[in-house]
Amino acid sequence: MPEGPEIRRAADTLEAAIKGKPLTQAWFAFDSLKAFEPTLVGQTVTHIETRGKALLTHFSGGLTLYSHNQLYGVWRVVDADEQPESKRVLRVKLQTADKAILLYSASDIAMLTPEQLNTHPFLQRVGPDVLDERLTSKEVRARLLSRPFRNRQFSGLFLDQAFLAGLGNYLRVEILWECGLAATHKASELTDKQLNALSEALLAIPRLSYATRGNVDDNKHHGALFRFKVFHRDGEPCERCGGVIERTMMSSRPFYWCPHCQQ
């Protein structure tokens, strides 16, 4: 399952294909969006924003296309007028003179005005995005200690997009290993030093993953700046303490950790 860094990389690819180029065609599968097709022709995509696993495609006329891939949605970049063979169902096509971006299989799609953007149910529920450079570790620390989150175990909290958008399974295990914390810990139990370290890691590790990896390869551990220390490494020695990395289930997802140094 892609997490924040992979979603942001996908958005970067879409931006590189069509950003700033006048649209020659806009097509939507849903009747509720058909009226926007002529409106968007001639406009440009100004930027594509990520909010966790949702993409916000902003147009020069002020509208924003909201899309959430959920389990089956996928974006593709093709040459203009190319019609690739696919068993997936095409939902959105945005085309310029030379490139087109296609959204397949997603069903959670809407066109939003600036006012609707501020009241959209999903966007209101999700927390700040970990890849938003405006978000600081001080703000993350305050969020950890806030009433809704301070007494929740990290195993579930770090999968809850209402806490921080963009976190997921591989990020939660890598962040907790980095800080030497067990999944059963809660923010209310931590020392100031632990809280500060965790607050910094919650931003630093996703941003490092985005900057240096892009796609996750579960079976290879490269010598790049970001590589898995525990994820999918059960049975291997912990490089920090030499203990054996174990695999268990936490919040219905596979969890990897070192029992020896994540006390």
Catalytically annotated residues: 2-3, 53, 253
Q: How far is CA 22 from the centre of its chain?
A: 28
With b for 16 or more beta-carbon neighbours within 10 A and e for fewer, the 8-36 pattern comes to bbbbeebbebbbeeebeebbbbeeebeeb
Is residue 4 classed as helix, strand or coil in its secondary structure? helix
Total count of residues recorded for the chain: 263
Give CA separation, 30 vs 107, 235, 254, in Å: 9, 49, 37
Listed residue (29, 24, 23) closest to 57, CA to CA: 23
Q: Report the alpha-carbon distance of residue 159 to residue 178 in Å, rounded.
A: 17
Which neighbouring-strand residues pair with 55?
Answer: 50, 67
Which neighbouring-strand residues pair with 48?
Answer: 57
Q: Report the alpha-carbon distance of residue 105 to residue 118 in Å, rounded.
A: 26
